[in-house]
């Protein structure tokens, strides 16, 4: 029902949707609600995209991931993201590798050219980087260390104890 309501709201004019989305993107709202709203409202509306990108650094990582997914699905969204990276408003290193891969695979030559200035495919060979991974895979897991890691890196966004 919640997703149906979000989709129904998507037919409202942009000027009515933006204040609703601003309220939903407040970090006190549930992540699932924020993600569903971004998924439904972002891809096709440049004004909504602009509002969300103005506050991108305050979004929870799962929501930000949805923002990037929505933007790279369309050429205007991809161009807007590149504009923000080029202007320094968004740190290129914070754009996920999968998003850069999608942008570099664009059918638009200008987008591919612009992306190449900020991101290049990984050139590391597995043989050159595998040893630390292999060593970590052979270690025994620790519930205590895992819990400490979760509390430090995950719990604040996932909102659980």
> Position of tokens 């923002």?
67
**Which secondary structure element, helix H or strand E, spans residue 32, and what is its range?**
helix 31-41
Show the tokens assigned to 42: 């972002």
Dump the DSSP string for 68-81: HHHHHTSHHHHHHH
Using a cut of 0.85, tell me whether the model's pTM lies above it.
no
Q: In the prediction, which pLDDT does 16 show?
A: 85
Burial of 77 (0-12, 13-18, 19+ CB in 10 A): buried
Q: In the prediction, which pLDDT does 157 show?
A: 61
Contact 94, 87 (CB under 8 A): no
What is the band of 75 on the pLDDT scale with cuts at 50, 70, 90? very high
Among 20, 91, 103, 15, which Cα is nearest to 53's? 91
What is the band of 138 on the pLDDT scale with cuts at 50, 70, 90? confident
What are the residues whose beta carbons fall under 8 Å from the beta carbon of 101, sequence distance 6 or more?
Answer: 121
Name the DSSP class of 133. H
């Amino acid at each position: 029902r919640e997703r149906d309501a979000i989709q129904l709201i998507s037919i409202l004019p942009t000027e009515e949707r933006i204040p609703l989305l601003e309220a939903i993107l407040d970090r006190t709202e549930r992540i699932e609600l924020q993600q569903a709203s971004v998924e439904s409202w972002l891809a096709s509306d440049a004004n909504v995209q602009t509002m969300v990108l103005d506050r991108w650094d305050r979004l929870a990582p799962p929501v930000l991931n949805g923002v990037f997914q929505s933007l790279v699905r369309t050429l205007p969204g991809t161009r807007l993201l590149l504009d923000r990276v080029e202007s320094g408003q968004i740190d290129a290193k914070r754009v996920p590798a999968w998003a850069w891969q999608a942008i570099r695979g664009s059918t638009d030559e200008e987008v591919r050219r612009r992306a190449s200035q900020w991101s290049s495919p990984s050139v590391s060979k597995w043989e050159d980087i595998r040893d630390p991974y292999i060593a970590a895979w052979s270690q025994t897991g620790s519930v205590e260390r895992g819990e400490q890691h979760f509390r430090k890196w995950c719990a604040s966004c996932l909102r659980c104890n």
